[in-house]
Structure 1
Amino acid sequence: MTQTLSIPTVAARPRRLLPATIAFAATATVLASLFLAAGAPSPLLPIYESRWGFAPWLVTLAFGVYAVALLVTLLVVGSLSDHVGRRPLLLAAVAVQAMAIAVFLVAPSIEWVLVARVLQGVSVGAGAGAFGAAIVELAPERSKRFGALFVSAAVPIGLAIGSLFAGLVAQLSSSPATTVWVVLLALAVAGVGVTLFVPESTTPMAGALASLRPRIAIPRRLQSRFAATIAVNAAAWMTGALFLGLVPTVVRDVFHLESPLIAGVGGAVAFGSGAATSLLGAKVGAHRLMIVGAAASVVGSAAFVGSVVLAAFPLVWVAAVLGGVGIGAGFSGTVRSLVPSAHPHERAGLLSGIYVVSYTALGVPAIVAGLFLASAGATAVAAVYGMVIAASAAVGIAAQAVVLTRSRSIA
C-alpha cells in the first residue's frame, strides 16, 4: 500500500510545475517586471519632493542608493544560485520586490522611499543572475540565442517601460503614486505566484557558504581587455543615471516644466533606444559596437549640455536617443567582448567585475551630482555631468582603437 501511495505522489509533483517552454516565457516576463518596478520611481520622485518638501539632493540619493544596494547584494549572492539552485533566488528576489513596493505604497516620508529603494536594489541584485541563468537554461534549444539576447536587453526594456508607465500615470491620475504602486504590487504578487511553479533548471552543488564571500576575479589573460572596456561601460551607465536620476529635476528646474510624463518619456526614450541598439547590434563586432556606443555617448552628452546651457528643450530628446545608443552598445559590447572568452568557472567573477563598473557608474555619480544641486544649481550640475560622460566615452574610444589595432597586428 505504501508503494501504491508513494508512486502517484511523486508522479504528481512535476505536473504541478510549468512546462519548460511556458516557464521560459514566464521567467523572462518576471525578470522584465523587476526592472520595470525599478524604473517607476524616477518620474514620481519630484512629486514626492513637492509633497514632502525635502532637499533636492535626496532625489538623486533615492536613485543612487538603489544602485549601491544592488551592487553590494550582487557581490555577495550573485553566484549563490549556482550552489542552491535557481528557484530559491528567484522566489526571494520577487518576494523582496513585493516588500519594496508595499513600502512605497504606504511611504509617509522620503526616509521610507529610501528604504524601499534599498529593498529594490537587494531584490534585483539577488535575482538578476539567477533569472538570467534560468531563462537561458529553460529556453528551448532553438531559442537559446534569443534567451541570451533577452537577458541582455531586459534591463533597458524594463526600465523604459517602468519610467513611461509611471510618468503617464502621474500625468493623468489624481493619486499617481498610489495608482502606480498598487498596479506594480499586483504584478509583483503575480510574479511570486508564477515563480512558485517554475521548475528548477540547474543541479545544486556544494560551496554555498564560500560563494557568499565577495570577490571579483578577472582572468589574467583578459585583464587588459577588461581595462579597455571600463571607460565605455562607465559612460553608458552614467548616461542611464542621467536620464533616470537627474533629468526629472533638470526638466523642472531648467525648463520649468512640471510634467512627470516628460520625465518618464525621457527615461523611456533613452532605455528604449538602448534596448533596440542591443538587439539590432547583435551581429556587429563587440569592439566596433563599443566604439559606436562611445561615439554616440560623446555626441549625446554634448547635445544634453547644449540643451541646458542654451535652454533648448528639443536637444534633450536628441540626447536621449543618442545616449540610449551609448547605453545599449556600450554595455552589450562590453559583455560580448569578454564573456565568450572566459571559461565556465571564470564567468561569475568576470561578470561581477563588469557589474561593479556598471552599477558604480549608475549610482555614485548620481549621488555626487545631487550633493551639488542646491549650491551650484541644476544647470551647472547637469552641464558638468554631461561633460564627464563625454570625457569617459572619449577615453573609451581611444582604448578600443588600441585594442583593434593590436588585434589586427596579431592577425
Structure 2
Amino acid sequence: MPLFTTYAARDGGGAGGLALAFIAYATTLIVTAPLLGGLSDRIGRRPCVLAALVFAGLATVALALAPGLASLAVARVLQGLAIGLIAGGATAWAADLAGGPEAGRQAARVMALATAGSFGFGGLATLGALWLLGDAEPPITFWLHIAAVALLVPIVARLPDRRPTGLVAWLRLPAFPRGTVASSFGMFAAWGVTGVALTSVPSTLAAAGYPRLGPLALCFMILVGTAAQQVMGRLPAQRLSLIGLPVLLLGAALVILGTLHISLPLLLAGGALVGSAAYGFLFIGALAAASEAAAGEDRARAAAGVFLVAHAGFCIPPLLTGLAVDAFGASAAFGGFWAAMAVLCAALAAVLLRRPR
C-alpha cells in the first residue's frame, strides 16, 4: 500500500489510473463470488484456504519481480481470488472450530481482526522498511510475506476440517439473510470511504509533495480500527451499525479536510474515526449480523454476501472519485463523494432504526 502512488507515478497514471489498478481486486471478487462464495461447503474449508494462500503469495511475487501499475493490477486480481476463497471459507471454518451458540460472533471477530490487522501491520511494516533501508524495491517486507505464506501452508494443512457433503451446487449466490441487507450495505459505505482513502487521498498528497503522509495516516487508520474491533465487538450487531454510520461520516470529513489542507493532525483524527467505524463498528456489525442470521452451510454464503457488498464499495466509489479528481480537481471530487456517502448513510440508518432489535 505505501508504494501505490510510486507505481502510479512511474507509469504516468493519476488518481484515476491508480484507482483502476486498485479495483481489479474488487472486480475479481465480485465476478467470482457465485463460484467462490459457497465452494468451501462443497470441497471443504481447508482446500479453499490453502488455495487462497497460494494466490496471495503469487500476488506478492508479481509485485516483487515487476513493480508498476500493470503488476499491481495483476496482483490485485490474485488477491481478489484469495479473498474470495478466504472470506466465506475461513469465516465458516472459524465458526466450525469454535462451536457453541457464540460461534458466529467469535468467527466474525477473528475474521475482522485478521483482515484489518494484517492490512494495517503490513503497510506499517513496509513504511518502516522504506524508512530504515531506503527506497530500494522490492522492500524486504515483500520477501517476508512470501516466507510467511510458505510457513502457513503446512500449518493450515493440519487443521481439522469437516467432511464436505458433495451435494452442494457449484454455483451459489452470496446470501443475505433476512434483516441483514442494511448492515451489509453499511460495509459499502465503510469500504467506499477506505477505498478512496487508499487511492485518491495518497495521490492528492503525493501530487502536493507528501508521498509518505497518506500511507502513514492510512496505517494509523487501519490499526486504530483493529483495536476498536476488540473493544466494541461485543455490542449488538444493529447497534454497532447505527453507531458506525455517523462516526464514518465525521471521520471522512476530517480526512478530506486534512488532505486538502495538508494537515497531519486532521488526517490522523479522521483516520482514527474512519478506522473505528469501518473496521470496528460496521465490519463487525455486518459480519455478526450475517453469521447470527445464518447457520451451518449458509454461514459461508452469508459471509460472502457481506464481502461482496463491501468490495463493491471498494470498487465503485474509489473509481468514480479518482476519475473526478483527474477531471474536476480534488476539492470538487471529495465534496461530491462525501455528499453521496452522507445520503447513503442516512438512508441506511433510517432502515436500521425501523427494524426491531
Q: TM-score, normalised by structure 2?
A: 0.89
1:325 aligns with 2:283: no
Aligned to 1:179: 140
1:226 counterpart (155, 180, 183):
180
Q: Matches of 1:351 and 1:129 in 2, distance apart?
A: 5
1:250 aligns with 2:208: no
Q: CA deviation at 1:287?
A: 1.7
Q: CA deviation at 1:80?
A: 1.3
For the 8 Å contact 2:56–2:79, the answer to whether it is kept is yes
Alignment of 1:298-309 (within 5 A): 298-309=249-260
Post-superposition Cα deviations, 1:93-119, rounded to whole Å, max 9, x if no partner, equal 111212111111111542222112111
Q: CA deviation at 1:67?
A: 1.6
Amino acid paired to 1:164:
L
Q: Matches of 1:355 and 1:82 in 2, distance apart?
A: 17
Moved more, 106-115 or 314-323: 106-115
Q: CA deviation at 1:237?
A: 1.4
Q: CA deviation at 1:382?
A: 2.8
Post-superposition Cα deviations, 1:355-407, rounded to whole Å, max 9, x if no partner, equal 2211101122112222233222233323332333333222222222222xx55
Give 3-state SS (helix, strand or coil) of 2:41's partner.
helix
Q: CA deviation at 1:214?
A: 4.2
2:217 counterpart (266, 282, 292):
266
Return closer, same or farther for 1:241/1:281 CA change in 2, 3 Å cut-off.
same
1:356 aligns with 2:308: yes
For the 8 Å contact 1:169–1:176, the answer to whether it is kept is no
Amino acid paired to 1:240:
T
Post-superposition Cα deviations, 1:255-309, rounded to whole Å, max 9, x if no partner, equal x3132xx333222222222222222113322222211111101211222233344
2:117 counterpart (143, 157, 171):
157
Q: CA deviation at 1:345?
A: 4.5
CA RMSD of aligned residues (A): 2.6
2:341 counterpart (389, 392, 400):
389
1:98 counterpart (57, 66, 71):
57
Aligned to 2:294: 342
Amino acid paired to 1:174:
D
Alignment of 1:67-106 (within 5 A): 67-106=26-65
Amino acid paired to 1:363:
C
Moved more, 361-370 or 175-184: 175-184
Return closer, same or farther for 1:167/1:217 CA change in 2, 3 Å cut-off.
same
The structure that has the greater radius of gyration is 1
1:195 aligns with 2:136: no
1:235 aligns with 2:193: no
For the 8 Å contact 1:301–1:389, the answer to whether it is kept is no
Alignment of 1:131-146 (within 5 A): 131-139=90-98, 146=106
Aligned to 1:12: none
Alignment of 1:49-64 (within 5 A): 49-64=8-23
1:296 aligns with 2:247: yes
For the 8 Å contact 1:82–1:202, the answer to whether it is kept is no
Return closer, same or farther for 1:138/1:109 CA change in 2, 3 Å cut-off.
same
1:275 aligns with 2:222: no
Give 3-state SS (helix, strand or coil) of 1:216's partner.
coil
Aligned to 1:402: 354
Give 3-state SS (helix, strand or coil) of 2:310's partner.
helix
For the 8 Å contact 2:182–2:348, the answer to whether it is kept is yes
Q: CA deviation at 1:168?
A: 2.2
Give 3-state SS (helix, strand or coil) of 1:392's partner.
helix
Give 3-state SS (helix, strand or coil) of 1:344's partner.
coil
Q: Matches of 1:94 and 1:215 in 2, distance apart?
A: 23
Return closer, same or farther for 1:305/1:367 CA change in 2, 3 Å cut-off.
same
Count of aligned pairs between the two proteins: 354
For the 8 Å contact 1:296–1:323, the answer to whether it is kept is yes
Q: CA deviation at 1:175?
A: 0.7
For the 8 Å contact 1:301–1:386, the answer to whether it is kept is yes
Q: Matches of 1:266 and 1:370 in 2, distance apart?
A: 19
Return closer, same or farther for 1:276/1:207 CA change in 2, 3 Å cut-off.
same
% same residue: 25
Post-superposition Cα deviations, 1:63-95, rounded to whole Å, max 9, x if no partner, equal 211122123333312221222122211221111
Give 3-state SS (helix, strand or coil) of 2:23's partner.
helix
For the 8 Å contact 1:240–1:270, the answer to whether it is kept is no
Q: TM-score, normalised by structure 1?
A: 0.78
Consecutive unaligned residues of structure 2, counting only runs of 5 or more, are: none
Consecutive unaligned residues of structure 1, counting only runs of 5 or more, are: 1-41
Q: Matches of 1:318 and 1:393 in 2, distance apart?
A: 20
Q: Matches of 1:97 and 1:86 in 2, distance apart?
A: 17
Give 3-state SS (helix, strand or coil) of 2:138's partner.
helix
Give 3-state SS (helix, strand or coil) of 1:177's partner.
coil
Q: CA deviation at 1:241?
A: 1.0
